[in-house]
Amino acid sequence: MSELKKRESPTILGFLNQHGYNIAQRDQLIFKSFMQVNYLLRDGIGIKLACIYNGIDPKANLNGSDFIPELVDELVGESEDCCELFAMGTREPWLSDGARNLFGSRKFHAIDGFQETEDYLKFYRKHHVPGRFPIIVLAMGMPKQEQVALHLQQAMDTKALLICGGAILDFTAARFPRAPLIFRKFGLEWAFRMLIEPRRLFKRYAIGIPIFFYYLLRNAFSGKPQVAGWSALKREQ
């Protein structure tokens, strides 16, 4: 948080979980999108196990559902007049409800997550007030949110924070319940989510988790960049 406060250029904050790792393995453009994110934080037990497997300290699990609300409060604080808040993602009514719960009584601008990439830039330019610090929460899912974030970043000429938040607005709108604390404590929030949304998430977890470990083993034997490579590339940024 201290580092983010000091940044003077448009900055992208993202999260890497097992699902993101899988889609990045299948598509080089998606891999490059993740690698251009300025801060890529570990999210979930899958990446923790991958870090341990590669001899890397996994450190804290900074999943967006817990970290993003704290980050917004820390950055905005009492200086609401210096910031402007944007919510980009999901659909109504969860878009507005989620943004209100995330941003509190602060004013915000919201647009759903089903627009063309250029439309988000137009929306930002329409509402941006020169001199203010934009905090933009993108909740469109991977990899669209990372690609939109990069497009916005390249067009900005001001200090800004773009947060790739996945389902953050759906969670803050209570569209989907958070897993009980016992699930979260042991890194099993994915299992709870699959139980309540089996049709949407069965492929991501029941099939995706074995594929994730296949990719780890394949990369280890082939010598291709994997979590260790990601870590080294992020340090270079």
161: left (phi over 0), alpha (psi -120 to 50) or beta: beta
Q: 135-194: per-residue pLDDT in tens?
A: 999 999 899 999 999 999 999 999 999 999 999 999 999 998 888 988 888 888 888 989
Q: Closest Cα partner for 156 from 3, 10, 44, 4? A: 10
Structure tokens at 80: 């609401």
Can you tell me the distance from the alpha carbon of 106 to that of 119, in angstroms, rounded to the nearest whole number?
Answer: 24
pLDDT in tens, 191-235: 898 998 898 899 999 999 999 999 988 877 776 555 444 544 444
Q: What is the mean pLDDT of the chain?
A: 89
Domain count for the chain, please give it.
1
pLDDT of residue 80: 66
Give me the helices (H) in the chain, please: 2-6, 18-26, 28-35, 45-53, 64-76, 94-103, 117-127, 144-155, 168-172, 181-185, 189-196, 198-202, 208-222, 227-236
Q: What is the pLDDT of residues 21-60, one digit of tens each?
A: 999 999 999 999 999 999 999 999 999 999 988 888 999 8
Cβ–Cβ < 8 Å for 93, 175 = no
Between CA 148 and CA 55 the distance in angstroms is 33
Domain boundaries, position 146: 2-236
